[in-house]
A = this chain, B = another copy of it.
Amino acid sequence: VRNSKTRLSDFALRLSGAWKDLALPSHDGTVIVAVSGGADSTALLLGLEELIRSGKLAVKLVVAHLNHCIRLGRSDEDAQWVAELGDQLGIEVIVGREPVKEWALKTLDNLEQAGRSLRYRFLAEVAEGRAASFVLTGHTMDDQAETVLLRLLRGSGLEGLSGMHPVRPLESGRGILLARPLLKWARRLETQEYCRHRRIDFRVDETNADHRFARARVRSELVPLIQSFNPRAVEALSRMATLLRGDSAALTAQAVELLGRARDNPDNHSTSDPPSLSVCVLQAALPAIRRRALRLWLAQCRGDLRRLERVHILAVEGLLTGLRGGRVAQLPGGEVVTRRRGVLRFYASDSLKGVEKGRTEA
């Protein structure tokens, strides 16, 4: 059915604008669309399908759906529904199965975290299998507001309050980008309206009506309350997150620059040893920049930031105060950072003997 002559829907028009703003590919190649069957991801898929049908977009869509096996029967029905939608639209659907509950028990993650990890791993696999560079999700402005509020409730700093990024690397996928074309403009209600306009009866996720998850309570209690203060509070939070992402990028750029200047052995860039840092250079920097630089440095040295909390960054920063060295900061994985002869040095837990030896020598 080709009806490219008919006027584009408002939803598809705005999606097309966001597509350009995010510099997503307008022709050639395959993009993976993650579809749960809820209104948001279904509207994303339908909107893209409308753009392709009208000749505005020339990419190949592949739908990916992960069956979480959480809600007996319901999960299978969701998967079945997405498969049928794909049939109806003439779009290939790949369905995966992962028992999220078992994974959560094994990793001690909560159900939401476990679901997310497994989902992103699945999406990366599908993208790699199809040589696709982009995976798309249907996150809306409402999801962004909820994310920001949840992080606010936990006392997050700038990076947390910056919310979700419209485009970011997919952690588990090599070189694959995760893009959220609805994030900066679409309200959840608009995705529902667009599905109705397309006469597609989207699935309702019952966990949304359930207060087990903090996010569901943010959605059902906190967001309505803040909208009673400012009817456009969701838009305001989304705009705030965008501003803060810019601020965060500027601070990170400064931290990277500081880290470059603080390298104790600048000629030694090629060695595989983690660089050591000049105490003087770090002392002269502003705390907000210095802490970010130390965080980046520790991520480099350790390979990741697991279990590294603010208190550890502050402990390492504490080594910089005063004139005297010879002190040690402990990190959660058993690693240590020492200050000696004007230099901060990182020791992995398996190189600790060296530190002990060094300490008696100092």
What does the 1/0 interface line of A219-262 toward B look like (CB < 8 Å)? 00110011001101101110110011011011101100000000
Contact pick for A237, options B155, B229, B240, CB 8 Å: B155
Q: With an 8 A cutoff between CB atoms, is A286 at the interface?
A: yes
Taking residues whose C-beta sits less than 8 angstroms from the other chain, chain A's interface range is 35 or more
Whether A246 and B154, one on each chain, are in contact in the complex, defined by CB atoms closer than 8 angstroms, is no
Whether A217 and B229, one on each chain, are in contact in the complex, defined by CB atoms closer than 8 angstroms, is yes
A219 nearest CB across to chain B (Å): 12
Q: With an 8 A cutoff between CB atoms, is A161 at the interface?
A: yes
Whether A250 and B286, one on each chain, are in contact in the complex, defined by CB atoms closer than 8 angstroms, is yes
Whether B158 and A243, one on each chain, are in contact in the complex, defined by CB atoms closer than 8 angstroms, is yes
A114 nearest CB across to chain B (Å): 21
Question: Roughly how many angstroms separate A155 CA and B148 CA in the complex, as a whole number?
Answer: 12
Residues of B within 8 A of A29 (CB): none
Residues of B within 8 A of A214 (CB): 229
Residues of B within 8 A of A158 (CB): 158, 243-244, 247
What does the 1/0 interface line of A280-300 toward B look like (CB < 8 Å)? 000000111100000000000
Whether A254 and B244, one on each chain, are in contact in the complex, defined by CB atoms closer than 8 angstroms, is no
Question: Roughly how many angstroms separate A289 CA and B253 CA in the complex, as a whole number?
Answer: 11
Q: With an 8 A cutoff between CB atoms, is A172 at the interface?
A: no
Whether A222 and B226, one on each chain, are in contact in the complex, defined by CB atoms closer than 8 angstroms, is yes
Whether A153 and B229, one on each chain, are in contact in the complex, defined by CB atoms closer than 8 angstroms, is yes
Whether A250 and B289, one on each chain, are in contact in the complex, defined by CB atoms closer than 8 angstroms, is yes
Question: Roughly how many angstroms separate A237 CA and B247 CA in the complex, as a whole number?
Answer: 19
Residue of B whose beta carbon sits closest to that of A157: B243
Main secondary structure of the interface of A (DSSP, over half): helix
Whether A153 and B243, one on each chain, are in contact in the complex, defined by CB atoms closer than 8 angstroms, is no
Residue of B whose beta carbon sits closest to that of A158: B247
Residues of B within 8 A of A233 (CB): 153, 155
Residues of B within 8 A of A155 (CB): 230, 232-233, 235-237, 239-240
Residue of B whose beta carbon sits closest to that of A161: B161
Whether A230 and B288, one on each chain, are in contact in the complex, defined by CB atoms closer than 8 angstroms, is no
Whether B288 and A246, one on each chain, are in contact in the complex, defined by CB atoms closer than 8 angstroms, is yes
Question: Roughly how many angstroms separate A247 CA and B244 CA in the complex, as a whole number?
Answer: 11
Residues of B within 8 A of A222 (CB): 225-226, 229
Question: Roughly how many angstroms separate A94 CA and B152 CA in the complex, as a whole number?
Answer: 41
Whether A225 and B235, one on each chain, are in contact in the complex, defined by CB atoms closer than 8 angstroms, is no
Whether A247 and B288, one on each chain, are in contact in the complex, defined by CB atoms closer than 8 angstroms, is yes
A173 nearest CB across to chain B (Å): 28
Q: With an 8 A cutoff between CB atoms, is A156 at the interface?
A: yes
Question: Roughly how many angstroms separate A262 CA and B228 CA in the complex, as a whole number?
Answer: 44
Could you give 15 example pairs across A and B, Cβ below 8 Å?
A152-B152, A152-B240, A155-B232, A156-B240, A157-B244, A217-B229, A221-B225, A225-B225, A246-B287, A247-B251, A249-B286, A249-B288, A250-B251, A250-B287, A253-B286
Given contacts A161-B161, A221-B225, list 6 more A-B pairs with CB under 8 A. Answer: A152-B236, A156-B240, A158-B158, A250-B254, A253-B286, A254-B254
Residues of A within 8 A of B (CB): 152-158, 161, 214, 217-218, 221-222, 225-226, 229-230, 232-233, 235-237, 239-240, 243-244, 246-247, 249-251, 253-254, 286-289
Rank and list the top 6 A-B pairs by shortest CB-CB distance, nearest first: A155-B236, A250-B288, A246-B288, A157-B243, A250-B286, A153-B229
